[in-house]
Amino acid sequence: MDEVIKRTCRFIIADDHMVVRQGMSLLVKETFPNAIIFQADNFTKIKGILIEEKIDVLILDVSFPEGNSISLLQEVKQIQPDCKIMIFSALEEEVHALHFYNAGVHAYLNKLSEEEIIQKALVTLVTQGRFVSELSKELILNSITTGKSINPIQSLSERELEVARLMVKGFGNLEISNALQLQKTTISTYKKRIFEKLQVDHLAGLIELFSHYLD
Amino acid sequence: MDEVIKRTCRFIIADDHMVVRQGMSLLVKETFPNAIIFQADNFTKIKGILIEEKIDVLILDVSFPEGNSISLLQEVKQIQPDCKIMIFSALEEEVHALHFYNAGVHAYLNKLSEEEIIQKALVTLVTQGRFVSELSKELILNSITTGKSINPIQSLSERELEVARLMVKGFGNLEISNALQLQKTTISTYKKRIFEKLQVDHLAGLIELFSHYLD
DNA sequence: TATTTTTGTCGAATTTGTTCTACAAAGTTG
DNA sequence: CAACTTTGTAGAACAAATTCGACAAAAATA
């Protein structure tokens, strides 16, 4: 353990909220007194740092003004494949963690976590290359045993997804059929299949689902 | 200015995220080296501290596991009427600030704000008893000159609200007319008036509005 | 490869929802 | 108080959405 904390680990703390960056900085420094810490409040800066500096751990918030950080993950892995990614998010672990593990992150931590948990996660991440909470472990097991897709939206076909997105945006049947150059009855058919697959039965439910599993 | 920062102000920093509390703590200490800082991560603790300690400033996040902190405001004012309340939230200022000013807070600050702004807000709050950003000033002026209610949902009549709620829950036209024992055409009329009043034109928009102004 | 499932597409008939108009009761305002 | 606005309520006519097939192409599976 002593060896660990003496390492000169290199971190990026990426969050659009200044106070969060400061708070996390403090914590990282407490945990790894020799750590080198970079801060970033947007995607461009994150990528910039990743290109110029060797980074061990990227601590990454989910929501940025530019959008959801899941879209960034691929790029991060391309620039620095060995960089460990820890999602540090206010989103409920139950709903979102699997999503991120599926996208290849090495740890998912809720912002509600207390100091000790965060520090433990950091240490585990550095020593073992990943940290999976008990809750997440269960979620993962569960998803495998029940065979259920993590994200039910993924069960939609291309066309269905297109239609669903437009529905969520508030497009009516006609507008959709226009946008996609299809008969309106065709749209109805898609709607029906969408509702069946997602097991909801009205737009309100669809919108709720989408707001949980925003891609 | 020097006098200000030498004051022994007493703060509560209330946020369910530990890192945010730490980050804000740091900032407050930088701004007021003699400050006395209490931290709280839930409503009960906030109230507990308010009862036992004289507090000058309550820095308050909006969302807690227990719910929206707007419900707490009344109680805070009862326990310590002189305590200044600063909302420190990730919610967009455009959408929510007025809501909170209307509920009697003394400052509204977005979590995206940078260090200098936050410090300026803190100092202004302590010296002048309130801090209103330029953006908020405009919002307030705007709301007065246009005479628009801050919360458009409040412009709905009883019946309209009933219908709107059911719509948001995903009820169809028939279901609503059944539930309220009205003709379906009547429901359509209400829908139309609701959409007009709220200036949206589909269910998706209505749902979004409701999710912003949940009462 | 033969069989089954999923996907993309549509039409006819039917169900649902909307418009537009209307009117009385209640509420507001000059 | 007279005039005007808002609210609660519908009917007739019209528009939009859904159902229930149906069918071929593509994909998955046995």
Q: For the segment B177-186, what is each residue's pLDDT rounded down to a tens digit?
A: 999 999 989 9
Residue B168 sits in a domain whose CATH number is 1.10.10.10
Q: What is the pLDDT of residue A150?
A: 61
Contact at CB, B22 and A21, closer than 8 angstroms:
no
- Looking at the structure, do residues A23 and A52 belong to the same domain, yes or no? yes
Q: What is the pLDDT of residue B44?
A: 96
Cβ of B173 near strand C (under 7 Å)? The reply is: yes
Q: Is B39 helix (H, G, I), strand (E, B) or coil?
A: strand
Contact at CB, B169 and A204, closer than 8 angstroms:
yes
Q: What is the pLDDT of residue B148?
A: 54
Q: How far is CA A44 from the centre of its chain?
A: 18
**By the 8 A CB rule, do A91 and A212 touch?**
no
A 126-145 residues with CB < 8 A to B: none
- Looking at the structure, do residues B131 and B29 belong to the same domain, yes or no? yes
Q: What is the pLDDT of residue B145?
A: 57
- Looking at the structure, do residues A113 and A20 belong to the same domain, yes or no? yes
DSSP string, A10-55: EEEEE-S-HHHHHHHHHHHHHH-TT-EEEEESSHHHHHHHHHHS--
B-chain residue closest to A17, CA distance: B112
Q: Is the dihedral of CA B45, B47, B50, B51 positive or negative?
A: negative
Q: For the segment A96-105, what is each residue's pLDDT rounded down to a tens digit?
A: 787 788 778 8
**CA-wise closest residue to A69 among A96, A43, A33:** A43
B175 touching A (Cβ < 8 Å): no
- Looking at the structure, do residues A35 and A83 belong to the same domain, yes or no? yes
Q: What is the pLDDT of residue B71?
A: 77
**By the 8 A CB rule, do A70 and A85 touch?**
no
Q: What is the mean pLDDT of residues A134-143?
A: 77
Q: What is the pLDDT of residue A4?
A: 63
- Looking at the structure, do residues A49 and A114 belong to the same domain, yes or no? yes
- Looking at the structure, do residues A29 and A114 belong to the same domain, yes or no? yes
What pLDDT band is residue B12 in, cutting at 50, 70 and 90?
very high
- Looking at the structure, do residues A139 and A196 belong to the same domain, yes or no? no
Domain span holding position A169? 152-212
- Where does a domain end: A145, A162, A184? A145
Q: Count how many domains chain A has.
A: 2
Q: What is the pLDDT of residue B214?
A: 58
Strands (E), chain A: 10-14, 36-40, 57-60, 63-64, 67-68, 84-89, 107-110
A 5-34 residues with CB < 8 A to B: 16-27
- Looking at the structure, do residues B96 and B134 belong to the same domain, yes or no? yes
How many Å apart are CA B209 and CA B154, to the nearest integer? 12
- Looking at the structure, do residues B163 and B108 belong to the same domain, yes or no? no
How many Å apart are CA B89 and CA B136, to the nearest integer? 14
Q: For the segment B103-140, what is each residue's pLDDT rounded down to a tens digit?
A: 788 999 999 999 999 999 999 999 999 999 988 887 77
Residue A102 sits in a domain whose CATH number is 3.40.50.2300
Nucleotide D30 C1' to residue A110 CA (A): 45
- Looking at the structure, do residues B163 and B139 belong to the same domain, yes or no? no
Q: For the segment A71-91, what is each residue's pLDDT rounded down to a tens digit?
A: 788 899 999 999 999 999 998
- Residue whose tokens read 């931590």: A109
Q: What is the pLDDT of residue B88?
A: 96
How many Å apart are CA B160 and CA B187, to the nearest integer? 9
- Looking at the structure, do residues A140 and A157 belong to the same domain, yes or no? no
- Looking at the structure, do residues B125 and B67 belong to the same domain, yes or no? yes
Q: What is the mean pLDDT of chain A?
A: 88
Least confident of B36-45, B90-99, B110-119, B163-172: B90-99
Encoded tokens for A49: 């740092």
Which of residues B158 and B102 earns the better pLDDT score? B158
